[in-house]
A and B are shown apart, each in its own frame.
Chain A
């Protein structure tokens, strides 16, 4: 198999096999891979425009029974610094965010077994009713599995109840690496790859949209990354429920895994992952660059390696912050970063509808 033949076949629209994906990841020159991904990006989305959302990532609890070794955020019940907020508290939090222009609230836990299912339903219902300015983009798959366990309902029933309460999208977190060999090591209580896929499948069947994520840069091998991409590509073929793919790298600070993996993943690796995912995930409409997890400058570069969305402004964020990894921005800077990368910036909703376009003034791209 020659690289140039493979490149030519991909240009004609051929789907990349697992073996070819691995070959691209391991053998292709960085800028060759990037150019191909960029070409595909412009074929799918010809506008030289990058979307972003004004959002926030609060947490309603940091109590968690899943014990992932890559996480510095969670506490056990009764542990120092634990918290669980009331629905009233959260609604107040959302209202404050709304006054700052936030349109999407990405809300997650902890998986706190002491919370009854009604808590979650009430959160959704009251958000929709009392803070209509924001869109509830709530609960990772782990929390949904947790709800099924406390309520005795099936996953599908849980999702149906949340849908009836007014929820329409769910975030893609908790996937980590969808290869059980790795998942068992880094998050043995979080469930298998099939559990994540199952929640997503049930959600997409009902009509939910979601993102898909991947966390790399820990114990995975290249083959595991390909496995992950393959799993979500297959699932996407079923219902087309994924709106975007969001890869990010493991942040070792303050986590048990730090002893084994002391270094951050490099930005070269990030660009490879972004480009490869654009090429491999031929049925995904968008690839998201994460300025937040990889750095603002890495985020800008990723927009030339196949990404076409810049994620959110993240008014509040606690999980990476617990790993001493802090990046802050605001709407104005977000637009400036996108312009600086040479693109028009477009504010979007959770479902990627464009609200407002901020055109690129040429001198800003200098």
Chain B
């Protein structure tokens, strides 16, 4: 990636060096970034990290917001939403009223509200349960840490018990509200009735342990100092190191409204907004996403923020506000169209997502799938973009998007390619192993022979490795096991007898081990020792319908990128390796184990594997509901 930042503010240069090397930024770095007037250089640094994390993707969701009541036991200064029971503006929604407000095609419902004094616990569970049952395609994101803490105290249940019961009722993720600013000074000034940082983190970390990913927020632009903002980000970063459970970070610009709080300025400046987006992208190096929440940022700032580090623009939010009244078109579809337009104008790929940020639909041409694993870096490291756009996506998701026409080319998981052979055309490259792989691993409590009838958790990301596992179990070892898909959030592995992991997660676990799973099997080695053949995990292919000139240009670009990567060992790869915890030597050895050119031996291996799959699929054993997408 050729990348020159021409700094007007020289104080940013040392920070840029750190960013390029993937080094963590300090409080002082954060403050220097806030002090700069050179916002375009700041934006470029954040955009660099944004592209490393998300390529050209910007995520949105078809969502709705439910505020079940505005009656609240608290009286926070900065809130002009809450009221007291009996006042004329007070309302409470029944579960039926909530269900009546939802439209079936949304994928995420966001539920937060006041904390009324007299609702029973069952009423909250009923809301979550009823939505999950009535709208199976709609995932529930509900209740801030403040509400969870309220339930814990009011219903005399532990925080863990509250979250467990909500999860059983269908809760998928939690919003990040109630964090405000992690500063006791500010809390005492503005929201002394609300929970502090400690409780907020307790709730979120407990949620993460239970497999409930959450969002995080910062409310800025009132009385907080710049230092307090950066410290807030650093506290989130530390927690993320511990749990990995935060999906996205949402800086929320304070809106004075009728709150009675008088900030220095009536509204935050757009420059402050963009700085905060960019700085959070740079400080929060371990968060997957940064959200430009247009409802509070304004559409004008949110749109520009997509080049300042934000890869997430929330969603249609019911469509009420984003769209002006334009006759027959529904506000929802107008809102969706406008969001797609905003993302496209920013030069990005509009990606409609689910509650876990899995891509569901892609609204762009010339999309190249990018497997976000260390072993795929050589394809992309010297890829000059031209007209192509990069979408980082796990192998199985790439296959699913391709079925809907959303991917124009990419390294397809072998099984996905074989399934879509009529639509896809092979290119000359693959991701194949020689003898071992180190990143397609079965972590097991039992030896192969003892896995008969046992339950194996299968990563959400794979289509080919799971078939390889099945072939090995049934044809090499003569045993049949039950497979169960893990979901793409955080998982509890302990209830399985074995777990199949792939990619960087498998590499990391291969090095550091997975608690409780003593035996570790490398599936490529198992295959090699049995068949004396390499194993082809993925093959590059493009849509047959792609224009001839586009195919040619793409082929040239890939060829040049791969050759350049092979000649000059990659700083980028070493950096990614270091993030997983590999030494330079380990990263080099790992990458040396791959063959990226589709030759005779690889073609032979594909044939052998295809034959074995058809034999296994002809039998009626170890069947699972994995393929029914």
Contacts and interface: CB of A to CB of B under 8 A. Distances in A.
Given A262-B329, A267-B304, A298-B300, A253 B324 contact: yes
Nearest to B307: A30
Contacts of A336: 265
Contact of A297 (B265, B266, B270, B346): B270
B342 A262 contact: no
B306 interface: yes
Interface stretch (B35-43, B77-85, B356-364, B496-504): B35-43
Contacts of A39: 6
Contacts of B287: none
A151 interface: no
B44 A259 contact: no
B265 to A, nearest CB: 6
Contacts of B223: none
A263 B337 contact: yes
Chain A contact residues, majority secondary structure:
helix
A122 interface: no
B306 A268 contact: yes
Nearest to B34: A366
A interface bracket (residues with beta carbon within 8 Å of B): 35 or more
B570 interface: no
Interface stretch (A100-108, A173-181, A337-345): A337-345
Contact of B303 (A259, A267, A324, A366): A267
Contacts of A305: 40
B226 interface: yes
B326 interface: yes
Residue among A4, A271, A297, A324 facing the most chain B CB atoms (10 A cut-off): A297
A248 B324 CA distance: 19
26 contacts: A4-B2, A30-B307, A30-B346, A31-B43, A31-B44, A258-B327, A262-B329, A264-B299, A266-B299, A266-B341, A267-B301, A268-B342, A268-B346, A271-B304, A295-B300, A297-B267, A297-B270, A298-B301, A298-B304, A300-B271, A301-B270, A304-B40, A324-B324, A340-B271, A341-B270, A363-B264
A29 interface: yes
A150 interface: no
Contacts of A29: 307, 347
A252 B304 contact: no
Contacts of B368: none
Interface string A247-286: 0000011000011001110111101000000000000000
Contacts of B266: 333
B339 to A, nearest CB: 10
A48 B301 CA distance: 22
A342 B298 CA distance: 20
Interface residues of B, number: 43
B326 A300 contact: no
A55 interface: no
B79 to A, nearest CB: 24
A38 B40 contact: yes
Given A268-B345, A268-B346, A337-B269, A364 B304 contact: no
B341 A263 contact: yes
Interface string B221-246: 00000100000000000000000000
B273 interface: yes
Interface of A: 4, 29-32, 34-35, 38-39, 42, 48, 252-253, 258-259, 262-264, 266-269, 271, 294-298, 300-301, 304-305, 324, 333, 336-337, 340-342, 363-366
B272 interface: yes
A251 to B, nearest CB: 9
Contact of B326 (A262, A266, A297, A304): A262
B8 to A, nearest CB: 8
Contacts of B337: 262-263
Interface string B14-41: 0000000000000000000010010111
Chain B contact residues, majority secondary structure:
helix
B347 A365 contact: no
A187 to B, nearest CB: 21
A341 B271 contact: yes
B490 to A, nearest CB: 35
Given A298-B270, A300-B269, A365-B37, A266 B345 contact: yes
A333 B308 CA distance: 26
B272 A340 contact: yes
Given A263-B337, A266-B346, A300-B271, 19 more contacts: A31-B307, A34-B40, A35-B40, A35-B44, A39-B6, A266-B303, A268-B304, A268-B307, A268-B342, A268-B347, A271-B304, A297-B300, A301-B271, A301-B300, A301-B301, A304-B39, A342-B271, A365-B37, A365-B271
Contact of A267 (B2, B226, B299, B334): B299
B525 interface: no
B226 A301 contact: no
Residue among B226, B264, B270, B342 facing the most chain A CB atoms (10 A cut-off): B270
Interface string B374-412: 000000000000000000000000000000000000000
A3 to B, nearest CB: 10
